[in-house]
Structure formats: C-alpha cells, structure tokens
Amino acid sequence: MRGGSGHRVRRAVWRQRRSMAAGLALTAAALAVSGFGGGGGGQGADAARGPAPGRASPPVRLVSAPVRIADAATVRLLRPGDRVDVVASEGAGAKARVLAEGARVEQVPAASAEGASGAGALIVLAVPRKTAADLAGAGISGGFAVILC
C-alpha cells in the first residue's frame, strides 16, 4: 500500500508545481503590462508610456542656435538670460508663424562686432535640437523677429 500512496503524493506535488508555474507566469505578465514589474520592462516600455505621474520627465537637451534678427534695434534690448519667442515671416502680407517659444538668449554680440551691415543682428539662443533645425531652415528664406517674454 505504501508504494501507491507515494505515487499519489508525487503526482499531487507535480500538479502543484505546474499550477504554481502557470500562476507565476500569469503574475509576471500582469506586472509587465501594468508597469509595476521591477526593471524587466526596460526603458523602451517607459518611453512608450511617458513619464509616470509624480515623476519628472527627462530634461530636454538644449543646443546653441545662432539666429539673425531683422531689427538690430530690437536685439540691443536683449540680455543673456532673457526669454523670447522667435517669429518668422516670409515677407509682406505673409502670415507670421512662431518657431520657438520661450527660447533663452545665450549671447548677444556687441554692436561693433556686427558692423553696420543693415542686415539685422545676430543672437544665440538655447533651444531643443528640433527647434534649432526649424530655425536654421526658416532663416534661409525669411527674416526673424523676437517677442520678449
């Protein structure tokens, strides 16, 4: 009789192992989907969901973008640290569009460095890389103006 009961015990333990393994797999899948899993989801899963409530999003990397402003007198009003909106216009009668909002002025070259070219004045702004590319592309075809924030 002893041999039969031992076989039943082993069978019961084997079934429990299978049940536990299945339950563990389901729990792991549920944790991975819910975002409570520790580290297994990687950064790709976090990036797809965005920052969790209460967590700061990663800082945006800023680059320096030189921008020629059409009105040199306006540039003389600016100081490093000022915030400006950059507006582009394709010409008279064209609708103006805002290319950068709240851009920080990094440098304002001295008036003597600009000379008397009458072609506006150069400033350097700290903006995200995408905005810098937009500014560079728009600067080829039109002039820029700034609005002090």
Residue at 130 is within a domain? yes
Give the chain as a 3 state SS string. Answer: CHHHHHHHHHHHHHHHHHHHHHHHHHHHHHHHHHCCCCCCCHHHHHHHHCCCCCCCCCCCCEEEEEEEECCHHHHCCCCCCCEEEEEEECCCCCCCEEEEEEEEEEECCCHHHHCCCCCCEEEEEEEEHHHHHHHHHHHHHCEEEEEEC
Report the number of distinct structural domains present in the chain: 2
Report how far residue 129's alpha carbon sits from residue 13's, in angstroms, rounded to the nearest whole number: 60
Per-residue pLDDT of the chain (149 residues; tens, 9 = 90+): 555 677 777 777 667 766 666 666 666 666 665 555 555 444 444 455 555 666 777 788 999 999 999 889 999 999 999 999 999 877 667 788 899 999 999 999 887 554 555 678 999 999 999 999 999 988 777 779 999 98
pLDDT at 36: 56
Q: Are residues 129 and 75 in the same domain?
A: yes
Same domain, 75 and 39: no
Query: Can you give the pLDDT at residue 41?
Result: 47
Domain that holds residue 23: 2-49
Residue at 54 is within a domain: no
Q: What pLDDT score does 57 carry?
A: 75
With contact defined as beta carbons under 8 Å apart, do 35 and 41 qualify? yes
Same-domain status, 84 and 124? yes
Closest CA to 86 of 32, 62, 122, 45: 122
For residues 20 and 92, membership in a common domain is answered with: no
Q: What is the pTM of this model?
A: 0.57
Q: Is 56 a member of any domain?
A: no
Residues 71 and 138 in one domain: yes
Closest C-alpha to 60, from 23, 100, 95, 31 = 100
Q: What's the pLDDT at 101? A: 96
121: tokens are 């004045």
